[in-house]
Amino acid sequence: MKKAARYLRDNGLTIGLMSLFALCLIGMLWSGWIDENSMLQAHGQGPVGLIDYFFSSSFQSTLFENWESEFCRCRPMSS
């Protein structure tokens, strides 16, 4: 078996799950950025760039609150 095929066979689940995680994170970033810019426009302010939004406290707090809720939900299942 070739090295590439063996690597994909041995790590296929990890690659698939990490790809799904990355796609979800990109979707969360994209939708939050659009929502943030529409809210800023409604208040008469200029739009924010995607990279600036990624490093903003608005995106960071939303991201960590989402992760926190998932960890709190999974905690009773591990006990």
Interhelix angle 57-78/3-42, nearest 10 degrees: 120
Mean pLDDT over all residues of the chain? 90
Query: Could you tell me if 47 and 26 are in contact, meaning their C-beta atoms sit under 8 angstroms apart?
Result: no
Query: Could you tell me if 28 and 63 are in contact, meaning their C-beta atoms sit under 8 angstroms apart?
Result: yes
Query: Could you tell me if 43 and 26 are in contact, meaning their C-beta atoms sit under 8 angstroms apart?
Result: no
Structural domain harbouring 20: 3-78
Report the pLDDT value the prediction gives residue 72, as an integer from 0 to 100. 73
Query: Could you tell me if 50 and 33 are in contact, meaning their C-beta atoms sit under 8 angstroms apart?
Result: yes
CA distance 65 to 71: 10
**The total number of structural domains that make up the chain:** 1
Q: Report pLDDT digits (tens) over 42-72.
A: 999 999 999 999 999 999 999 998 887 777 7
